[in-house]
A = this chain, B = another copy of it.
Amino acid sequence: MNQFPSAHLLAEIRSRGPLVHSITNTVVTNFTANVLLAVGAAPAMVDIVGESGMFAGIANGLLVNLGTPTPEQRLAAVEAAEGATQAQTPWVLDPVAVGALPIRTELARKLADMHPTVIRGNASEILGLAGASAGGRGVDATDSTGSAAEVAMQLAREKETVVAVSGPEDFITDGDRVIRVKNGDAMLTKVTGGGCALGAVIAAFVAVRSTAIENQDVSVLDAVAAAHVVYGVCAEIAVGDGTTRVGPGTFAVNFLDALHAVTPEEVSAKERTFETTQLQVSK
């Protein structure tokens, strides 16, 4: 059995119910809130100027997702990032479709300089944020996770953050250590918000990382990996054992049920992560 604290942090979320402030896109707000509720966290979306910054101080974690960034939401996102920083609320930046689209790309780069605790995206989005690619087509990755690995490590070092690249195998790094998560199922790409809601779950896991295990803090890197593990394990449970073909409608229902029902023991039993040796990246 490996040493990642996925099971422990899941139990912490269940007992502490972290409040996750989610500034996210109109396509996935509902699914994101239901995913947070199912896993044991409490969602709230406060994306207007004059409230988002204050609420980032009340919340235990913050997600800033740039999927449908209206002018009001763009201002509210910056306000929330400032509020989170002042209140030391951990926050996650999800640069949806960044790269090809100019307004969100400029905003994402500004936010990336405001010390997010975590940056999460698919390979094309991470490359797009780093200026190393024009980004994918919309929300789909057109670059492989492997192609983003070095850029992700470089980005993590430059921004002093943890970068998570989602894909068939997730790649998570703080610029030094690298954790790969093999849990998950491709069916997550057939339900809208499969990636976006993960950003909110990451915020929930990072929110409870303090003194989670015998008064020792879990590192941000390990907490982010734990979120990916629990999320991926629940996707595997939702797909089932393969005796029945599960469609995307049933999968989404099963996935919420699994997030609610999965036990820490099941997570530990199904976890498939490994920590790789440090990649050599020129500074």
Contact = CB atoms under 8 A, between A and B. Distances in A.
B34 A192 contact: yes
A236 to B, nearest CB: 16
Contacts of A45: 25-27, 67-68
Nearest to A31: B30
A257 B247 contact: yes
A71 to B, nearest CB: 6
A37 B191 contact: yes
Given A27-B33, A30-B192, A48-B71, A138 B42 contact: yes
A60 B229 CA distance: 35
Given A26-B26, A44-B138, A34 B72 contact: no
Nearest to A246: B257
Contact of A258 (B37, B67, B247): B247
User: What number of copies of this chain does the assembly contain?
Assistant: 3
A242 to B, nearest CB: 15
Nearest to A255: B249
A250 B37 CA distance: 14
Contacts of A191: 34, 37
Contact of A50 (B26, B68, B103, B192): B103
Nearest to A101: B51
A69 B31 CA distance: 20
A190 B139 CA distance: 28
A43 B190 CA distance: 10
A228 interface: no
Interface string A172-197: 00000000000000000111110000
Between A46, A47, A103, the greatest number of chain B beta carbons within 10 A of the residue's beta carbon is seen for: A46
A74 to B, nearest CB: 9
A70 B249 CA distance: 30
Contact of A247 (B29, B47, B260): B260
23 contacts: A27-B43, A28-B30, A30-B192, A37-B189, A37-B192, A37-B248, A38-B249, A43-B138, A43-B139, A44-B137, A51-B104, A58-B138, A70-B72, A190-B260, A245-B261, A247-B256, A247-B258, A247-B261, A249-B252, A249-B253, A249-B254, A250-B253, A250-B257
